[in-house]
Structure 1
Amino acid sequence: MTGTTVTAPTVAGSPVTSAKPRGSRAKRRSTMLTVVLWLLALYFVLPLFWLLIASTKDNADLFSSFGLWFGDRFALGENLASVFSFRDGIFVRWVVNTALYAGVSAVGASLLATAAGYAFAKYQFPGDKLLFSITLGAIMIPLTALALPTYLMFNSFGLTNTAWAIILPSLISPFGVYLMRVYAADAVPDSIIEAARVDGAGELRIFWQVGLRLLGPGIVTVFLFALVATWNNYFLPLIMLNSSSLYPLTVGLAQQQGAAAAGGGAQALFSTVITGSMISVVPLVIAFLFLQRYWQTGLATGGVKE
């Protein structure tokens, strides 16, 4: 009996080998990623959950009950009343100040970063690479290192203890310039700019009527970053402001915390401070939930090349 030899099929002269199943490896990798994502979610969500639970407790329950669950009394209403009645309702003034500082700074920083990023991406001029390198270097400088020079400069102009001492430094966003430069390079095609020039539009008109519309998602991204940075800024208002009526929420709540800690907590403001902190987080959560779709779109569109 003659034996037959079976050879493996070949593609372009090379034998085809059967692929080994990789399902178990992919499953292990997926499980590991899921665990890591859950741990990261707990890391970010757990402090917010604790803040929400703690705002429903009175001062006694804060120190006698489990931190991640409700106390014996549900004192959220009392805490809210205490927050808004403290020192004749100065908390409302702090909220208005914070909204003013953060809103004006975010809008101004977004416009300046958009204009600078558009210019770096679409124009060539003497020193453009040097200026952009300086901008990138400014990202690496910590804000605390600039605090003292900024204070001395503003003090020489008589701007300390004013709203301008918070707004003007917050208008500068080197990271926003970098982000808009990367985004504008792909989001605004050169062909559209050339077509607008052929139609007789000037450079400023092209930027305002064409560029800004195409850069909308990127502008919202920078706006969100600037809003959060100014809203949570503590060190700059601390050194610039002396009057409590000009304080933002960060400094105002810190002053309340200091009053509560002085004398062993004789003023019993711990629950008031925690509830005020919970209220201060709510606007940022709302802003993020409302703007996250533009934020995600901006990052994806600006980072993909066709």
Structure 2
Amino acid sequence: MTTARVIHPSSRAARNAGTATPGPKKRANHTLSYLFLGALVVYFLIPMWWLLVASTKDVGGLFNGSSGALWFDKVFALGPNLVTLFTYNDGIYLRWMGNSLFYALTGGIGATVLSVLAGYGFAKFRFAGRRVSFAILLGSVMVPLTALVIPTFILLSGLGLTDTVWAVILPSLLNPFGVYLMQVYAADAVPDELLDAARVDGAGEIRTFFQVAFPLLRPAFITVLLLSIVGTWNNYFLPLAMLSNTQLFPITVGIGLWQGQASANNSGGESLWGLIIVGSLVSVIPLVIAFLSLQKYWQGGLSIGSLK
């Protein structure tokens, strides 16, 4: 015996309505959304484009160029500008670049490790004072970092650590927002049943963390790592307050020093403005490389973390 399946016309119409082509109103909304996003992209790219164009001009083209601020001059001086940048004052810019790289890697990696361990502990362990400690952590997220610079300076000054690399590295290891992000992500991405199964199989807490939990935390780990590295690299007020030796300056404070000298109309002020622009362009390149290098691990971790 065969049975015929009767499809109600209303059901068929409802199903076809979901696959129908968008109407004029919906297409107009999509067009407006794309135009708005395109305008935002242009808005954010214009400063980078201006920085790139200005870095290719000599001093005359930078201040008296006839091609406009957003286009190249006939004289393409990027190569000579880079040579001048890297050789000015015995190559002090390369020294500052190395300092920024050192501070960003040590502070960023250290802050990420502490954030992962603390966030995982808050999410998956129950201990006395857990709620109070996490509440204090959330409160510290709301405190601006600049408000803590002076108390940090007084503390490190009492320990004799000011004007040393530790005055920049130690405060950079504290990242309350990274701990909060890891706690929120670990609470959802790492099932308690998976951890219990690993413990039943005889795995200790350290092995359970590294072999079971950490692969699922990789997207959040990369996110916190990027935020920590970028934050330490762009940090200006902390090293400005802690350091007085120009040999220990990061790139942000070093370029700020040149800007102050150029604004004071010292000798060579115009050439310093050229160094500031080219130096700002070069200082952005490591951040772009870091993001592009870690992006594949970020995307790969997202697919791993989605498997339950």
Name 1:70's counterpart in structure 2: 72
Q: Which runs of 5+ in 1 are unaligned?
A: 1-8
Give how far 1:55 is off.
0.5
Task: Give the 5 Å matches for 1:58-137.
Answer: 58-65=58-65, 66-137=68-139
Name 2:161's counterpart in structure 1: 159
TM-score, structure 1 as length reference: 0.88
Specify the code of the residue in structure 2 equivalent to 1:165: A
Give how far 1:278 is off.
0.6
Identity of aligned residues (%): 50
Name 2:255's counterpart in structure 1: 253
Asked if the contact 1:187/1:301 (under 8 Å) is kept, the reply is no
Give how far 1:263 is off.
1.9
Asked if the contact 1:186/1:305 (under 8 Å) is kept, the reply is no
Name 2:280's counterpart in structure 1: 277
Say if 2:290 is the partner of 1:287: yes
**1:73 match: secondary structure:** coil
**2:43 match: secondary structure:** helix
Task: Give the 5 Å matches for 1:27-66.
Answer: 27-65=27-65, 66=68
Give how far 1:10 is off.
7.9
Specify the code of the residue in structure 2 equivalent to 1:25: K
Give how far 1:145 is off.
0.8
Distance 1:255 1:200, change over 3 A: same
Give how far 1:226 is off.
0.3
How many residues align? The count is 294
**2:80 match: secondary structure:** helix
Specify the code of the residue in structure 1 equivalent to 2:212: V
Asked if the contact 1:98/1:248 (under 8 Å) is kept, the reply is yes
C-alpha distance after superposition, 1:148-179 (max 9, x if no partner): 11111111111111111111111111111111
**1:269 match: secondary structure:** helix
Specify the code of the residue in structure 1 equivalent to 2:290: A
**1:153 match: secondary structure:** helix
Name 1:213's counterpart in structure 2: 215
Say if 2:191 is the partner of 1:189: yes
Q: Which runs of 5+ in 2 are unaligned?
A: 1-7
For the residues of structure 2 that align with 1:82 and 1:42, how far apart are their CA atoms?
31
Say if 2:255 is the partner of 1:232: no
TM-score, structure 2 as length reference: 0.88
Asked if the contact 2:216/2:301 (under 8 Å) is kept, the reply is no
Runs of 4+ in 1 over 4 A off after TM superposition: 9-12, 18-22, 296-302
Give how far 1:217 is off.
2.1
**1:88 match: secondary structure:** coil
C-alpha distance after superposition, 1:27-67 (max 9, x if no partner): 11111111111111112211111111111011111122211
**1:126 match: secondary structure:** coil
When structure 1 is superposed on structure 2, of 288-297 and 97-106 the one drifting more is 288-297
Give how far 1:305 is off.
10
Give how far 1:301 is off.
7.4
* RMSD of Structure 2 on Structure 1 (CA): 2.4
